[in-house]
């Protein structure tokens, strides 16, 4: 694995000096490019909860650095007290968002590094090493996922995307958007149809921004236009990311993803989920067991409007994710290869296990 330093201009990194996590504040994009250095527990929690850092793999990378940075706080009397505080920090950060399993996986992995040490100094060094390893592995996994994803389409194809699964949501290349960036590097032409992704507009604000800047041909549409665009024959494949994949292949991703999958099935278009194996939750049997985050209704009525779109007293229901049934998914593209149904069997063949 490469030991190149991670640039501080990445969307997530360890800030110079190593005492804070540096993030590109995604909540301000595309209008403002602002980096934040975060080190207090409440700031780190808030950054995840407010989607300043977002996208399942990026949240996982952030989690590793965040737990390490929190371990640097003075005040732990001895090693057992230090570990007890690390466990509390882990639980605190893990409560910031419930759906993306990468948060839990990477917090657990960084905590395990501390638990395997025998002194505070050794534990901090192991946690830092683990955080860097998580980051570097993600870069390599995204690259591999992008290669496998690109093998599923051909020059000239139209690809529908939902939410943002690009470099901002990961480390480099991304997952769902990775094949599009790679196609550009290879001189191929893929056309991206970008769902704006209500209510937080990750498609309009982030996916269109990343693709446009990279020179990938893209067109923004409202979410409710996807059916028409499919009917017009413009879409050859759908590429989406994932926040938690259950052992049977049911997949939680940004709200609206399951609707895209249902449309794709209707029009006979392949629907691909792309994500690293760290997003598969082998302890979760199916989608009914995936916790779905509920967010404030203000995101629907007020957030991106000059004036509220609805009366203040109107009730809102704002689930941030939905679950796409495995029967609607053509394949799940991981860093180890393309998994076709039945997913429990193809996961077992690639990952050699059914449970963690």
Q: Which residues are catalytic?
A: 243
Query: What is the arrangement of strands in the sheet containing 271-274, beginning at the earlier edge strand?
Result: 218-221, 191-195, 158-161, 237-240, 271-274, 331-334, 337-339
Please identify, among the stretches 70-78, 111-119, 238-246, 336-344, the one whose residues bind ligand MRU according to the rule CB under 6 A. 238-246
Work out how close the CB of 327 gets to ligand MRU at its nearest, in angstroms, rounded to a whole number: 20
The least CB distance from residue 272 to ligand MRU, in Å, is 13
Out of 10, 13, 15, 57, the only residue in the binding site for ligand MRU (CB under 6 A) is 57
Smallest separation (angstroms) from ligand MRU to the CB of 237 = 16
Count CA atoms closer than 13 A to 285's CA, side-chain side: 1
- The residues facing 138 across adjacent strands are none
Residue showing tokens 């399993």: 101
Query: Which of 103/269 has CB closer to ligand MRU?
Result: 103
d(CA 209, CA 322): 24
Pick between residue 55 and residue 179 the one whose CB is nearest to ligand MRU.
Answer: 55
Helix, coil or strand: residue 281: strand
Q: Which is nearer to ligand MRU, 129 or 293 (CB)?
A: 293
Cβ atoms < 10 Å from Cβ of 84:
12
The CA distance from 322 to 97, in Å, is 14
Nearer to ligand MRU, 27 or 227 (CB): 27
Number of residues that bind ligand MRU (CB under 6 A): 19
The CA-atom distances, in angstroms, between 230 and each of 15, 167, 237 are 44, 26, 10
Q: Which residues inside 118-177 make contact with ligand MRU, applying CB under 6 A? A: 163, 165, 169-170, 174-175
The Cα–Cα gap between 270 and 253 comes to 17
Closest CA to 41 of 17, 64, 67: 67
Biggest alpha carbon–alpha carbon distance for the chain: 66
Shortest approach of ligand MRU to residue 223 CB, angstroms? 13
Per CB under 6 A, 243 contacts ligand MRU: yes
Note whether 100 binds ligand MRU by CB under 6 A.
Answer: yes
In the chain, alpha helices (H)? 41-49, 56-71, 79-94, 101-115, 120-150, 178-185, 202, 208-214, 226-231, 257-267, 298-301, 343-351
For ligand MRU, which stretch binds (CB under 6 A), given 35-43, 48-56, 72-80, 87-95?
A: 48-56
Among 141, 246, 320, 328, binds ligand MRU (CB under 6 A): 320
Asked if 96 touches ligand MRU (CB under 6 A), the answer is no
| Residue closer to ligand MRU (CB basis): 83 or 242 | 242
Residue 48 in the binding site for ligand MRU (CB under 6 A): no
Binding residues for ligand MRU, rule: CB under 6 A, are 51, 54-57, 100, 163, 165, 169-170, 174-175, 202, 241-243, 253-254, 320
């Amino acid at each position: 694995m490469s030991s190149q330093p991670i640039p501080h201009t990445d969307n997530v990194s360890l800030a110079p000096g190593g005492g804070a996590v540096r993030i590109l504040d995604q909540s301000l994009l595309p209008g403002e490019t602002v980096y934040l250095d975060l080190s207090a527990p409440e700031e780190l929690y808030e950054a995840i909860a407010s989607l300043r850092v977002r996208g399942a793999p990026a949240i996982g990378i952030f989690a590793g650095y965040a737990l390490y940075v929190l371990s640097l706080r003075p005040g732990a009397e001895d090693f057992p007290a230090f570990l007890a505080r690390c466990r509390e920090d882990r639980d605190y950060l893990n409560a910031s968002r419930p759906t993306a399993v990468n948060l839990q996986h990477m917090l657990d992995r960084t905590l395990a590094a501390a638990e395997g040490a025998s002194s505070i100094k050794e534990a901090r060094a192991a946690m830092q090493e683990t955080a860097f390893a998580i980051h570097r592995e993600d870069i390599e996994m995204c690259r591999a996922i992008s290669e496998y994803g690109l093998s599923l389409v051909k020059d000239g194809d139209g690809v529908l995307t939902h939410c943002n699964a690009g470099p901002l949501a990961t480390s480099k290349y991304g997952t769902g958007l990775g094949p599009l960036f790679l196609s550009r590097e290879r001189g191929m032409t893929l056309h991206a149809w970008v769902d704006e992704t209500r209510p937080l507009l990750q498609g309009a604000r982030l996916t269109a921004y990343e693709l446009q800047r990279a020179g990938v041909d893209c067109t923004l549409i409202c979410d409710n236009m996807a059916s028409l665009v499919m009917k017009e024959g413009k879409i050859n494949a759908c590429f989406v990311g994932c926040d938690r994949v259950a052992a049977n292949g049911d997949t939680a991703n940004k709200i609206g993803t399951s609707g895209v999958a249902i449309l794709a099935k209707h029009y006979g278009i392949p629907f691909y989920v792309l994500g690293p194996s760290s997003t598969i939750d082998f302890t979760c049997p199916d989608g009914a067991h995936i916790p779905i985050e509920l967010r404030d209704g203000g995101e629907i009525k007020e957030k991106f409007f000059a004036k509220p779109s609805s009366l203040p007293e109107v009730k809102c229901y704002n689930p941030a994710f939905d679950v796409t049934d495995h029967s609607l998914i053509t394949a799940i593209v991981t860093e180890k290869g393309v998994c076709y149904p039945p997913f429990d069997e193809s996961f077992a063949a690639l990952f050699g296990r059914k449970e963690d």
